[in-house]
Structure 1
C-alpha cells in the first residue's frame, strides 16, 4: 500500500514510518525537518520511501505534498494525519499560537479533503487521525481545542463514509515519549506502541482507540465527575507554588 504520514521526522511519526517500511509498504513521509529522513533513505531507497519537505500550515505545500506523493507512488491508500504541536499556557500572548489549530486540525482536514475523492472513487482507503486523550479531557487550551475538533471530525466522517469502503480511525494516546513531552514528569509509553497499534488498525479498522487503555478511567471520571479534574488541577497548582 501507499501510505502518506505527516509529522514523520521524530517520535510517533518516525517510528511508524520505520514500521510501515519494515512491513513492505511504500511510504511518503512529510515534515519540515527533511534531513532526518537520510538514514531511512539509505536503508530503504526510493522504491519504498519518498520524503517531502512540507510546512503543513501552507496551502501550496499541502497541495504539493499530495501531488508529488501521487506522482511517485500512485494513489494514496492510507493517510495518517500525525503532525501536531502544542504551546504553553500563555497562548493569548503568543502570536504563533494559532499554528496549533492550523497544524493539528485544519491541515488534517485539508489533507483528508484532498485524498478522499480518489478513495471514494476506488471504494477503498483508510484515514487515521492522531488525536489525544486531551481531546476528551481538557488540559491545554488550544491543544485540547484542536484535538476535540479532530475527534469530532474523525467520528463524524467515519459515519458519513459508512458503506463506502473508506475507513476512518482515531487514535487517542496519553503521554508518549516524544520531543513534545520530554519535560513532563509523568508515566509515558514508547512511540513504538502507537506504531504497533497503527499496523493493527490497517488490518482491522476501529473507530477510536485510547492508548494506554488505563486512560479510559480518566476520561470516564472527566465525563461523570468533571469537578474531580478541577481538583487535580488546583492541587497541581498548589504543589508548583510551594
Structure 2
C-alpha cells in the first residue's frame, strides 16, 4: 500500500472520530450527522418508495434495482460530499441505512446467501480519492445484513471518462472492456448483488454484471443509495450479429 493511501486513510479515520461538525450543514454533531440532517435523509428514504411487492427475480441480461432514495435534495448533497468532499464517513452511514432497509424488503429473503460486490474504481482514481465510495457503502450494507463482502470481486482495468457528461451510447463505449474478475472473486455458487452509490442509466451496472455473468456468476440485482429519475434501457453490443440486445433493468418498489 502506498504512503499516500495510508496517509489518506489515517486522515479519514481521524476525521471520523474527532470531527464535531455535521459534514452536510457544519452544525455540531455527536455522531456522523447532526440530528436534523439525519432526519432529513431518512425522509428522503421514506418518500422514495411505494408499498408494492417486487416481481420474481428476472433472468440473464436484466437486473433488479433496489435504491434507497432519489438522487435529489439532501441525499444528492450527501453523495456529492462522499465522492468529492473527502467525507468518507458518509459511505458507511449510507451503507448501513441501505442495508437495514434491504433487510426489511421481501426481495432480501431470496438472496440471503449472496455476496456483495462493489462497483470498483480504477486504481488511479482510487489513489486520487483515497477510497472507493461504493466499497464503503458495501461494507455498511454487509455490516447491517450479514451478507458476504467480496470487496475485490471485480476490478476496473480502464480509467474511464466521468459518466455524468455522457449520453447512453457514449457511456457504453466508455465502459467497453472496463471490468474484469478481481483478484479475490467470491464463490461462483453464490449469487452476487452489485453495490453502487448512484444508479443512473444502468450502463455501469449492466456492464459489470455481464462481466461476472461471462465468468459463470448469477447477478440478479444491484443496490444503490440513490437512483436518478431517468432509468433508460441499455443496448448490449456484445452480440453485433443480432443488432444489439435490449437490456431492461426493472425497479424494485
Structure holding more helix per residue: 1
Structure with higher RCO (Cα < 8 A, 6+ apart): 2
TM over 0.5: no
TM normalised by structure 1 equals 0.31
